[in-house]
Structure 1
C-alpha cells in the first residue's frame, strides 16, 4: 500500500502541468495592446489610388536626387536662360515667357549645391534622397499626416521621412479635398531595393488609423538608371489643396 502513495498524486501533477502549458500558450498567443491598436494597413501599387477606408492615396511620382530644396527658394528660369522669345507662351499657362521648371542652373555651383540668393541652399543627402510626390484625400473626416512616414527596403530596414518645412509631415487634410505634397527619405544608395511606402493619417492619434502600403514599383533596372543619373536638385513644393 505504501508504494501506491505517489501514484495517487499523479493525476493532480499532470493536471497542473497541463494548466501551466495552456497558460504559456495563451500568453504566447495574446495580442499586445500595441498590435491591437496599430494602424490598419491596405496595400496597393502606384498604378491606382489606394483606398484605406479613411483616405485614398495616389503616388504621383518618385524622384531620386542628390539634394532637395524648397521650390519657392529656387529662382525661376529667365527667358534668356531658356532661349524663349519674350511675348510667347511656350507652356500654355496663359503667361508670356519661359517654361517654369523651378530650377535655374545658373543659380547653382559646380556641385549643384549652392547659390540661391535669398533662399536657402539645397539640402544634400549622405546617400540619395527618395522624393515621393503624392495626393491624399480624406474620406469623411479631417486627418493629420502621421510622422514619420516610412520607406521599407528589401533587407528589412525602414527609413523615416525627414520633416522639412516644405514636406507633408503633420499636414492637416480636410475631408473631400485632395491635398498634394511630397515626402523625402534619405537612403544609402546600396540599400535602395524594392522600396515600399508606408503612409499613415489619423485623427488625434494614429491608433486604428488607416495605413497605405504602396510598393513603389521600381524594378532593379529602373533603380540602376535612376541611381546612376540622379537629379542634382529636386524642387519640392509645399503641400497644397486642389
Structure 2
C-alpha cells in the first residue's frame, strides 16, 4: 500500500508542477520574457523604469532644424515620458512591429532618440521610427528596460501595447525635445 501511495503522490506533484509552469508561461514570449500590457495614457512599470505613452502619430516628413527628413515609407512618432525607480539611466528602449511582423527600431536619423531619466523625475519627449509605407493600421509598441539585444536573450520583463494609425500628416513635423516635467506631471 505504501509504494502505491508514494507513486500517487509523486504523480500528483508532477501534475501540480506542470499546471504551475503553464500558468506562469501563459503570459510569456518564447524567449521567456514576461510581457506587461498597458494602454496609451496609462503609467506602466517595466523593470526599473516608469513609462507613460501619451500619443503615437504618423508623418511623411520630419523637420531637423529646418532640414526636411523624408523617408520612402513614413515616420511614426511616439510621444512618451519616463522616469526610473532607483538610479539615473538613459530612457528605455522602444520598438515597433507592424501587422506583417516587420520590426523597427528608433531611426538613427531621428533628431532625438535618447535622453537621461532619473528616479521619480519624469522627462517627456518624442522619438521617431522609419517604417514601411504600408505599415498603417495596427502596430505593436514594445518598451524594454534593457537594450533589445539583452531583452531577447535573457528572460526580462517588457511592456507592450497595440496602437492604430490610419492617417499620415502631410505637414512637416518637429519632434518635441526632451523636457523635465514638474512634480505629478507625466
Structure-2-length-normalised TM-score: 0.67
**Is 1:167 aligned to 2:112, yes or no?**
yes
The aligned residue for residue 22 of structure 1 is none
Q: Deviation per CA, 1:108-164, whole angstroms, max 9, x where unpaired?
A: xxxxxxxx4xxxx110111111101101121222232355x2101112111111134
Unaligned runs of 5+ in 2: 1-29, 182-186
Compared with structure 1, are the counterparts of its residues 143 and 201 closer, same or farther at alpha carbon in structure 2 (3 Å cutoff)? farther
Partner SS for 1:176: coil
Query: Is the CA contact 1:50–1:58 (under 8 Å) kept in the aligned structure 2?
Result: yes
Alignment match of 1:184 (pick from 125, 128, 136): 128
Query: Is the CA contact 2:97–2:139 (under 8 Å) kept in the aligned structure 1?
Result: yes
Alignment match of 2:96 (pick from 151, 168, 192): 151
Query: Is the CA contact 2:113–2:128 (under 8 Å) kept in the aligned structure 1?
Result: no
As a proportion of its length, which structure holds more strand? Answer: 2
Query: In structure 1, how many angstroms separate the alpha carbons of the residues matched to 2:160 and 2:106?
Result: 14
Q: Deviation per CA, 1:78-100, whole angstroms, max 9, x where unpaired?
A: xxxxxxxxxxxxxxxxxxxxxxx
Query: Is the CA contact 1:66–1:232 (under 8 Å) kept in the aligned structure 2?
Result: yes
Q: CA RMSD in A?
A: 2.6
Query: In structure 1, how many angstroms separate the alpha carbons of the residues matched to 2:157 and 2:88?
Result: 13
Alignment match of 2:88 (pick from 142, 147, 166): 142
Alignment match of 1:129 (pick from 63, 66, 75): 75
Partner SS for 1:195: strand
The aligned residue for residue 160 of structure 2 is 213
Structure number with larger C-alpha Rg: 1
As a proportion of its length, which structure holds more helix? Answer: 1
Structure-1-length-normalised TM-score: 0.53
Superposed, which structure 2 residues align to 1:35-184 within 5 Å?
35=31, 40-70=34-64, 73=65, 116=66, 121-146=67-92, 149-164=94-109, 166-169=111-114, 171-184=115-128
Query: In structure 1, how many angstroms separate the alpha carbons of the residues matched to 2:35 and 2:113?
Result: 20
Query: Is the CA contact 2:96–2:103 (under 8 Å) kept in the aligned structure 1?
Result: yes
Shift of 1:53: 4.7
